[in-house]
Amino acid sequence: MSKIHIPTPLRQYVGKHSTVEVKGTTVAEAMNALVAQHPEVRRHLYTDDGKLRAFVNLYLNDEDIRYLQKEATAVKEGDNISIVPSIAGGAENILVSPHSPRLGGGASANQDPSLRLG
């Protein structure tokens, strides 16, 4: 069996477990086994047409599956799959490098309102 590591925000949909043991020979099979055991988590991981949501990243033993064979990546006994949601956001004050070609001279978002994200 392999273990899928569940991020804190999704644990409420998998019985509050931090890991779930699953069988599968690929990442896709392992993820299908997770969803079969805990159907409530499906809508948080997959779109209505069954595609992995864009903000959901999967890692097999610390390797991003996007750089392997994606969901077809082979899984072996004892492997660990981690679900890592993307984190978006920004800071109100962003410092720009003194080498910035756009502003130069160490300008910051406080000096150029077009650089503010918030």
What DSSP string runs through 80-116? Answer: EEEEEE------SS-BPPTT-TTT-TT-BTTT-GGG-
Does the pLDDT of residue 9 top 60, yes or no?
A: yes
Does the pLDDT of residue 17 top 70, yes or no?
A: yes
Q: Which two tokens stand for residue 105?
A: 């001279």
Does the pLDDT of residue 115 top 50, yes or no?
A: no
Where in the chain are all domains bearing CATH 3.10.20.30? Answer: 2-85
| Span 2-85 CATH architecture | Roll (3.10)
Does the pLDDT of residue 106 top 90, yes or no?
A: no
- Residue 86 — very low, low, confident or very high, per pLDDT cuts 50/70/90? confident
Which tens digit of pLDDT belongs to each residue from 49-66? Answer: 999 999 999 999 999 999
Give the span between the Cα atoms of 30 and 22, in whole angstroms. 6
Residue located via tokens 């055991």: 37
Q: What are phi and psi of 10, to 5 degrees?
A: -95, -10
Q: Taking the model in full, what pTM does it have?
A: 0.72
- Give the percent of the chain with pLDDT over 90: 69
Average pLDDT for 27-33: 97
